[in-house]
Structure 1
Amino acid sequence: MKNENRPELDILRIISCLIVIVLIHIPNNYAYTFYMDLSQYTGYLIHTLGISVAMGSFIFISGFSLYLSESNRKLNSKEKIKNFLKKRFLRIFPLYWFALIVYLLIFPDTGRTVIFEIAHVFGLQMIFAPMGGDPIWTIWFIGIIVIYYLIFMLLSYLDSLKKIIPVSILIQAGFVTLNILFDLVEYRFFQYYNIFILGIIMSKIYISPQFTKVKESLIKKNKNLPLIIVCVMVLISIPLYFVLARYTHTSFLSNYGTYYLFQIVARQPGYFEVASAFLLRQLNIVLFLIGILSLLYLVMKILHKIFKKEKINKIISVVAYSTFGAYLFHRPIIILLSIIVTGIFNVNMYARENFYIALLFVPIIFLFSYGLQKTSDRAIALFKKRKHKKIDEIKEIVEIESPSITEKSSTLT
């Protein structure tokens, strides 16, 4: 079962990317800040909780999609591990290294140590972050994903949830120990870790024969019953999401005087207080995921009734294909476009009436990212082709220069 068959995941990836670009970074850094017009709670709901649900969605999709692919399960041989690492490496690091160079040029930080910058090269910045300094903006996400992928390799050996869940808890306890004893592992690793594990768990349930049997039995009773259940999930989870968001906002302010997790962690209120704060935020992410995925399932059912299924899925897939590059490079692209618009047209990007201009940057970001991703994939494909051709040429030379077994035997006789 491939990820293409689940367009809801692709739409969620697109929505998450748009939240980061349109609701978080553009109004925060490069255009009119509409948060000045909002109440404190609304600002928390859109901005602080918004970035959490967006990044949490990315990470949930990663865990879910990894386990969904049969080739990623039970990495119990050198060949399987090699193929997994190779595929992940080629998917992430070429564009990430390009982005890293760009970010180091645009956002230089003399406070970072050489060791910490080397850690960025290998995608290990989130392990060394507290001790080494602050990870580079935006691309800190790669530092989390790389570690989660390594953890996934270990969990892929395990057959059942009875093993996956306790082992994942032990792994988390190990990272907590590193944080307490050596000031390693940045707080965002813990903020999203359980969401990644949840993605793996839900994927395992989704592909299980038991889930298939339950779904088939529901359809036998009433073919509309799955849709009714999904509607109920939307009606319950979305209101609960807002109720919990209000409670979390009030609770954090009354207990810590802030609703930012990094500020709560910096105050060192105690392990159980920090853990409960993280769990509240994670529960909000889970409710968001239940609500939005259920809603997207219904939306896709409607769209498939109106348009051809293959065509609409293809459009969604193409846009989703651009999200990795859009996430990595949206800041540099926005900066460049802002300089061009301001310098050539003398437009004040921070004026309220010009905010729509910043929104015009969004399709440009996605188009550029699509081209960049396509170029990267073609370059990798060309490299592989040349490598295989070179190997074939070497084999051919060896076969020509080395006599066959029969030739050797006849020579000996």
Structure 2
Amino acid sequence: MNSNKLVEIDILKSVGIFFVIYVHLPVFFSDIQTVPYAQSAIPLGLSCFFFTSSYTLSKYNNFSDDNKIETFLIKRAKRIYPLYWTAIISYIIIFGFLKIKADTNNLSTIGITDYIAIMMGAHELSLDFPPVPYLWYIGAILFFYVLYVLIIKYANSEFDILRNSLLIFLSMHLISFPSSIYMYYPVFIAGIFAGRARALSKFNPYTSKIPTEVTNVFSYIAYSSYAVYLFHGPILSIMETINSYFGLSGYIGLLYLLCVDVPIMFLGCYCIQQVADGKLDIKNLNSWKFGYVEYLSKSLSISEIWKK
């Protein structure tokens, strides 16, 4: 992985994606009706994503001409849209046609106008479009990237950035956006200032003491987090269906979900992200595969012991 990346960013992304999975556990494990502190975990997890997304934008601090703006937005779009569109298709197939679980996003029944809005990521900008529970973050972050350009383009100092951010926030109240836009915009702005001040680097004296093996795990989880966010719905729904078929329920089913299904999902999403980035390393994948086979065998052994 990139040795220049801040481990603090990887930790925050890892925490964020685990909060997302934690909150959605009742969706993929029918024996759980609710999870404790879900209402707190949702904003905490997504705040980690919004904060880290804007924190890493600090190197893009010059939008003096249209070419730089175009380059920035195209780079963001190439990073976001291909996997996002693939995820939408997977939702339609898994929930709409195969009906593995209830289609909570209603992606198989909405009209063409709604489809266009969702495919462009504009569904989160208007109350007129149907909500997309698992994917709404994409529409919000795309919107914030555009706002970031406006904020930085007309700013020559930290004060200008603060002024522009406040003016945009006030202007947003002239239009009816979903509440999540207003809620996470300040988090996104906080990430901008933190990134420019390199605030997370101040934790380096502490994070540098974390063993390399642990930071590598955070690095892989963080790298996979975007794909996990997009595909955890279809993947875990399929796995939960398979688990139910084999009678894995109760504590054993939950143990299997957490110790086997979730790691498989992360491995699969890591590969998906590698393919999307055009850098799937077969040798690296083999090391993952053999390491995971050993881990899987241990997990299955624990499951058998638990049954006894």
TM over 0.5: yes
2:150 maps to which of 130, 139, 154 = 154
2:56 maps to which of 52, 59, 65 = 65
1:125 maps to which of 123, 126, 133 = 123
2:165 maps to which of 161, 165, 168 = 168
- Displacement of 1:16 after TM fit? 1.0
Contact 2:19 2:44 in 1 (8 A): no
Q: As a proportion of its length, which structure holds more helix?
A: 1
Separation (CA, whole Å) in 2 of partners of 1:102 and 1:73: 36
- Displacement of 1:331 after TM fit? 1.0
Q: What amino acid is the match of 2:42?
A: I
Deviations 1:97-125 (A, max 9, x none): 00111223312357644322211111111
Match of 2:81 in 1: 93
Match of 2:25 in 1: 26
Contact 2:114 2:123 in 1 (8 A): yes
C-alpha change, 1:315 and 1:132, in structure 2 (3 Å) is: closer
Q: What amino acid is the match of 1:163?
A: D
Match of 2:273 in 1: 373
Partner secondary structure for residue 132 of structure 1: coil
Separation (CA, whole Å) in 2 of partners of 1:314 and 1:346: 35
Contact 1:60 1:199 in 2 (8 A): yes
Structure 1-normalised TM-score?
0.60
Contact 2:28 2:237 in 1 (8 A): no
Deviations 1:19-57 (A, max 9, x none): 111x21113442432747xxxxxx3xx210111010011
Match of 1:257 in 2: none
Q: What amino acid is the match of 2:76?
A: R
The answer to whether structure 1 residue 193 and structure 2 residue 100 are counterparts is no
- Displacement of 1:88 after TM fit? 0.6
The answer to whether structure 1 residue 48 and structure 2 residue 39 are counterparts is yes
The answer to whether structure 1 residue 300 and structure 2 residue 207 are counterparts is yes
Partner secondary structure for residue 367 of structure 1: helix
Separation (CA, whole Å) in 2 of partners of 1:109 and 1:366: 24
The answer to whether structure 1 residue 357 and structure 2 residue 264 are counterparts is no
Separation (CA, whole Å) in 2 of partners of 1:160 and 1:95: 36
Separation (CA, whole Å) in 1 of partners of 2:145 and 2:78: 13
Contact 2:51 2:190 in 1 (8 A): yes
Contact 1:329 1:369 in 2 (8 A): yes
C-alpha change, 1:123 and 1:35, in structure 2 (3 Å) is: closer
Q: What amino acid is the match of 1:124?
A: A
Q: What amino acid is the match of 2:242?
A: I
Contact 2:56 2:195 in 1 (8 A): yes
The answer to whether structure 1 residue 338 and structure 2 residue 237 are counterparts is no
Q: What amino acid is the match of 2:119?
A: V
- Displacement of 1:84 after TM fit? 0.8
Q: What amino acid is the match of 2:195?
A: S
- Displacement of 1:318 after TM fit? 2.6
Q: What amino acid is the match of 2:236?
A: I
Q: What amino acid is the match of 1:99?
A: A
Contact 2:227 2:269 in 1 (8 A): yes
Separation (CA, whole Å) in 2 of partners of 1:78 and 1:321: 30
Contact 1:31 1:358 in 2 (8 A): no
Q: What amino acid is the match of 1:366?
A: F
Match of 1:79 in 2: 67
Query: If you compute each CA radius of gyration, which structure gives the higher value, 1 or 2?
Result: 1
Separation (CA, whole Å) in 1 of partners of 2:90 and 2:264: 18
- Displacement of 1:161 after TM fit? 1.8
Point out the more displaced range, 315-324 or 326-335: 315-324
Separation (CA, whole Å) in 2 of partners of 1:91 and 1:84: 11
- Displacement of 1:357 after TM fit? 1.4
C-alpha change, 1:103 and 1:110, in structure 2 (3 Å) is: closer
Partner secondary structure for residue 347 of structure 1: coil
Partner secondary structure for residue 177 of structure 1: coil
Contact 1:4 1:317 in 2 (8 A): no
Alignment RMSD (CA, Å): 2.6
Separation (CA, whole Å) in 2 of partners of 1:367 and 1:146: 26
Separation (CA, whole Å) in 2 of partners of 1:4 and 1:142: 26
Structure 2-normalised TM-score?
0.79
Point out the more displaced range, 168-177 or 368-377: 168-177
Match of 1:143 in 2: 139
- Displacement of 1:346 after TM fit? 2.7
Match of 1:401 in 2: none
**Equivalent residues, number:** 267
